[in-house]
């Protein structure tokens, strides 16, 4: 790394600016914040708050103060163009403005600053030119990261949206701000290549990869598009980088439990991504790694074993699925109680209807709000199969009590009523089913009978 020579006079001034620069940046940015957000009783002083439009007057005054201070800094930089501290302080002000207000700073219809992030990057470019270092690369990388996130924030939210290859490429593969952020974090990492001693640089890079991998894999529509366009390896590569990073920290035994949980979480996220891509073997392998690390009192313990059980049930390995669910339930019966439903489903598929009824009963012994409806319907149908018709009527009645626009709820109870010999009640429910079908026409289209799937 090349050395930077400072003349004694400039060096003394640089030290002074380092000492007082932070205070100056706080004053300038506080002026901007007060100008934008002053309210009576808070930022707006009482002598202004009492006057008509006094707070607006105060905001304008503070804006002008901030502008004057910025111009002073501009002149100092012109006089001392090799003073790194000055560029860093001006970049800090622009960065804080950008994080708070975006790329354009306006008040009362007048634009005071625009292209704020570009101004911050320009100053950081100069600082890197004069004295490259970990902190400067991270600061610039964070601005690029925020610009990338701003560009995708309106694009990622529709849950069932299926993006095109061109859209994925534009926002996640060839996006210039993402690539610039990645490049800066990698450069910062290169200055101190040991992940233990340069954790900040590695953490920023891990956050960047985590966001991309999650966006591209955790929603079904996105995962479908990624898989169909042969882009899965990008997601796996991001997860593998994070797994390697967190695992190395954990294996050294010099990190807090937090990093241990990060490794577990990353294995689990990769497993969920693989499941969404249809790569069930990769999902089982990765979730197995997560299960080997997770502690029973950790957040996500139940979810890891649910995923493993679901994957085995999908593969028709019902005994294996039951084993996964049982392990979690034995360890944390209260926290994992939703798995009674999953285990009941697996037992039913495995030809054990009475054991399925037992598991469904274990779940609905506690209040389970809307999820109880689906469980009552499942158990009610099994009661019909086992000839326990009165119990079936009771379960269907409880399911209907959660409110319904599903005609099948009434049709199933009508069947149970008829089996116990209550023809009048059966006909009343059949009439109710027809009434519900008519009501559905007045509402938005929906799968009102999804609990019967």
292-321 pLDDT, tens digit per residue, is 988 887 878 999 999 999 999 999 999 999
The string of DSSP letters for 254-299 reads: -S-HHHHHHHHHHHHHHHHHHHHHT-HHHHHHHHHHHHHH--TTST
CB 270, CB 236: distance < 8 Å: yes
Residues 55-82: pLDDT tens digits? Answer: 888 878 888 888 888 999 999 999 999 9
CA dihedral 79, 121, 203, 229 (to 10 degrees): -160
54 vs 183, which has greater pLDDT? 183
Other C-beta atoms lying within 10 Å of the C-beta of residue 38: 21
* Residue 110 DSSP SS3: strand
Backbone angles phi, psi at 111, to 5 degrees: -90, 120
* Neighbour-count burial for 240-265, b at 16+ CB within 10 Å, e otherwise: bbbbebbbbbbeeeebeeebbbbbbb
pLDDT in tens, 12-49: 333 333 344 444 455 555 554 544 444 444 467 888 88
- Cα–Cα distance between 146 and 95 in angstroms, integer? 10
- Higher local confidence (pLDDT), 413 or 32: 413
The CATH code of domain 297-364 reads: 1.25.40.10
CA angle at residue 196 from 191 to 202, to 5 degrees?
Answer: 60
In this prediction, residue 425 carries a pLDDT of 95
Q: Are the C-beta atoms of residues 221 and 159 closer than 8 Å to each other?
A: yes
CATH number of 367-453: 1.25.40.10
pLDDT at 260: 58
What is the average pLDDT across 100-111? 88
CA–CA dist 247, 318 (Å, integer): 32
């Amino acid at each position: 790394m090349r050395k930077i020579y400072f003349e004694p006079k400039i060096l003394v001034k640089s030290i002074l600016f380092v000492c007082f620069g932070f205070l100056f940046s706080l004053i300038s940015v506080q002026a901007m914040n007060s100008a934008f957000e002053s309210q009576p009783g808070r930022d707006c002083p009482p002598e202004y708050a009492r006057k008509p439009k006094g707070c607006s007057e105060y905001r304008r005054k503070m804006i002008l103060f901030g502008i004057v201070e910025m111009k002073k800094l501009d002149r100092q930089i012109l006089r001392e163009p090799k003073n790194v501290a000055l560029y860093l302080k001006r970049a800090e002000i622009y960065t804080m403005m950008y994080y708070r207000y975006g790329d354009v700073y306006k008040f009362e219809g007048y634009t005071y600053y625009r292209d704020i992030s570009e101004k911050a990057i320009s100053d950081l470019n100069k600082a890197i030119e004069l004295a490259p270092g970990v902190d400067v690369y991270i600061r610039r990388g964070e601005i690029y990261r925020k610009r990338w996130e701003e560009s995708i924030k309106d694009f990622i939210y529709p849950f069932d949206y299926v993006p095109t290859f061109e859209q994925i490429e534009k926002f996640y593969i060839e996006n210039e701000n993402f690539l610039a952020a990645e490049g800066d974090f990698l450069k910062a990492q290169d200055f101190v290549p040991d992940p233990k001693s340069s954790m900040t640089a590695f953490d920023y890079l891990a956050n960047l990869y985590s966001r991309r991998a999650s966006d591209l894999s955790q929603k079904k529509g996105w995962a479908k598009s990624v898989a169909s366009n042969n882009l899965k390896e990008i997601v796996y590569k991001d997860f593998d980088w994070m797994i390697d990073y967190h695992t190395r920290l954990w294996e050294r035994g010099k990190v807090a439990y937090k990093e241990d949980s990060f490794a577990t979480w990353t294995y689990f996220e990769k497993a969920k991504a693989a499941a969404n891509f249809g790569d069930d073997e990769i999902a089982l392998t990765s979730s197995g790694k997560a299960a080997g690390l997770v502690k029973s009192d950790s957040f996500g313990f139940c979810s890891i074993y649910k995923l493993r059980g679901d994957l085995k049930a999908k593969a028709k390995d019902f005994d294996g699925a039951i084993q996964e669910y049982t392990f979690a339930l034995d360890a944390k019966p209260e926290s994992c109680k939703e798995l009674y439903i999953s285990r009941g489903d697996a037992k039913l598929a495995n030809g054990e209807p009475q054991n399925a009824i037992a598991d469904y009963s274990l779940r609905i012994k506690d209040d389970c709000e809307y999820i109880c409806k689906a469980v009552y319907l499942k158990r009610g149908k099994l009661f019909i199969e086992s000839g326990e018709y009165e119990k079936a009527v009771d379960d269907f009645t409880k399911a209907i009590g959660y409110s319904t626009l599903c005609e099948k709820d009434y049709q199933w109870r009508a069947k149970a009523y008829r089996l116990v010999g209550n023809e009048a009640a059966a006909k009343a429910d059949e009439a109710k089913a027809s009434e519900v079908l008519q009501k559905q026409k007045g509402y938005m289209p929906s799968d009102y009978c999804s609990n019967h799937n």
